[in-house]
Amino acid sequence: MLLEQFEYHLIEMRLAHADKRCIWHPYTQMEDWKKWDNRVIVGGKGFYLIDNEGRRYLDGIASMWCNVWGHGKNEIVSKMSEQLRTLQHSTLFGLASAPSITLAEKLLKFSRGMQSVFYSDNGSTAVEVAMKMAVQYWRNKSRPKKTHFIALEHGYHGDTLGAMSLGYIAKYFRAYKPILTKVYRAPSPWDKSPSAKSKANIVNTCIEQTERIIMKYGYGCAALVIESGAQIAGGGIIYEKGYQRKISDLCKKHDLLLIVDEVATGFGRLGNMIEYLAQRSTPDIVCFGKALTGGYSPLAVTLTTAEIYNAFLGNYSENKQFYHGHTFTGHPIACAAAIANLDLYKRHNLLQKIRENSHYLGRRLEEVSRSPIVSSLRHKGLLAAFELHNNKKPINYMKNKEPIQYFIMRESMKMGVFLRSLANTMIVIPPLAIPRRDLRTLLDVQLRLLQKIEQDSK
């Protein structure tokens, strides 16, 4: 037995070394990564990840905001396994498949106002699909000059070229600016320290400024693109009531398509199954991803209204058809995962549990707000965010010059929770079905981290 354990340990050590030698990690300075005692995740149980040395970490960021039910065997895994035995992959180029049809029907029942579902692989590609649809829609309607876009400051829509153009965050994407497409910027409804008066005015101010931009540039724009309900990667910015509906009304008024990105905010993250319906907005095109499969398989969808879909119909010789597709479009195993996931939402009444946990989160955030280094705390559903400041200056580095996000990740793992911040913005974004005891653990660790950061900043 001891010999077997020793051999297993050697294998896992080899994996850690091989990782440093072979893999280029996303959004990571690899020079730093080489110095870290990195963890190789080899398993998952419940809402915990298990590393190569048997240590457990609460999955505090829902595996990049997509995990719903935790890790391990459940109905989704069973349905994926069943589908794997039945049909591994079949293209949607010239053929149909049962799982993609069943899932599309389910999605359209949830998504009032939508008629058609186009499949892709992830949130970025779903947004690319939406952009191409919008531009070709106007071309098919004999208005080919409507080719640009309007998007919000602080927005984020993914890392492919079109998505980077829409969600241009200079720190991330400055190097790629020469190859990005033209996008006009509307203000984000964001006030880092809003008073009651500014909250009352912020929506109207943003709408007035956005309408001026639409009036100036809208004639050459295909669509306005907005994340639904909140901007997460751009800083955890939660919209004031009425803002998104007024944006929707502006688009209708000025003959501009509205593309709504619910990749990160749909399926319960903000307490609603379909956020654009809760916001009382009427998009022309909607993108879903992340939680769609429970985080178990890559899959995304772009939904459109009948008006958009019908503009692509005609004789083959008119060349109106939509020229876009992926090898794994409508992948049967991913669709099976999504079908099982949506069934579980209903069976376990997940939205009600999310709302109950949201109330608990709100109460615990009162403790967070008492920290002298916390400012601008905001919360909706199972999303919360706040800034780390010392003497009104953002805390981006610890005293030893370690970036704050590295410190948070390293120290949280020592406490048995995996967390990541967006620089000095702390994000609370747990798995959607997280039990109360694990949510309590996550928030306890957040508070302990704040104490450590506060002590370091003195």
Instruction: Enter the DSSP assignment of 422.
Output: B
The pair of three-digit structure tokens given for residue 52, joined into one six-digit string: 């190569």
285 phi, psi to nearest 5 deg: -140, 135
What is the model's pLDDT at position 1?
46
Q: b/e for 161-186, b at 16 or more Cβ within 10 A?
A: ebbbbbbbbeeebeeeeeeeeebbeb
The pair of three-digit structure tokens given for residue 436, joined into one six-digit string: 């109360």
Domain 39-72+350-456 class?
alpha beta
pLDDT at 135 over 90: yes
What is the model's pLDDT at position 209?
96
Over the stretch 206-243, which tens digit does the pLDDT of each residue have? 999 999 999 999 999 999 999 999 999 999 999 999 99
> Tell me: domain 76-347, CATH 3.40.640.10, correct?
yes
Query: What is the residue type of 85?
Result: R
What is the model's pLDDT at position 401?
93
pLDDT at 353 over 70: yes
Over the stretch 3-17, which tens digit does the pLDDT of each residue have? 445 455 555 678 888
Rounded distance between C-alpha atoms, residue 399 and residue 41, angstroms: 30
pLDDT at 202 over 90: no
Q: What is the mean pLDDT of the chain?
A: 94
Query: What is the residue type of 321?
Result: Q
pLDDT at 178 over 90: yes
Strand partners, 109: none
* Least confident window among 28-32, 47-51, 191-195: 191-195
Instruction: Enter the DSSP assignment of 62.
Output: H
Rounded distance between C-alpha atoms, residue 341 and residue 326, angstroms: 23
Of all helices (H) and strands (E), which one includes residue 277? Answer: helix 275-278
pLDDT at 149 over 90: yes
Report yes or no: 99 and 83 within 8 Å, Cβ to Cβ.
Answer: yes
End-to-end CA distance of the chain: 50
Over the stretch 53-110, which tens digit does the pLDDT of each residue have? 899 999 999 999 999 999 988 999 999 999 999 999 999 999 999 999 999 999 999 9
Domains of the chain: which residue ranges?
A: 39-72+350-456, 76-347
What is the model's pLDDT at position 458?
75
Rounded average pLDDT over 179-194: 85
- Pairing of β 300-304 and β 116-120: antiparallel
Rounded average pLDDT over 289-312: 98
CB neighbours (10 Å) of residue 246? 19
Rounded distance between C-alpha atoms, residue 120 and residue 104, angstroms: 13
Rounded average pLDDT over 369-392: 95
Report yes or no: 151 and 127 within 8 Å, Cβ to Cβ.
Answer: no
pLDDT at 455 over 80: yes
What is the model's pLDDT at position 312?
98
* Least confident window among 88-102, 184-198, 204-218, 250-264: 184-198
What is the model's pLDDT at position 2?
44
pLDDT tier at 200, thresholds 50, 70, 90? low
pLDDT at 247 over 70: yes
pLDDT tier at 457, thresholds 50, 70, 90? confident
Rounded average pLDDT over 146-169: 97
The better pLDDT of the pair 424, 4 is held by: 424
What is the model's pLDDT at position 3?
43
Angle at 250 between CA 248 and CA 251, to 5 degrees: 65
What is the model's pLDDT at position 36?
85
> Which residue, among 422, 458, 426, has the nearest Cα to 442 in the 3D structure?
426
> Which residue, among 105, 67, 99, has the nearest Cα to 267 in the 3D structure?
67
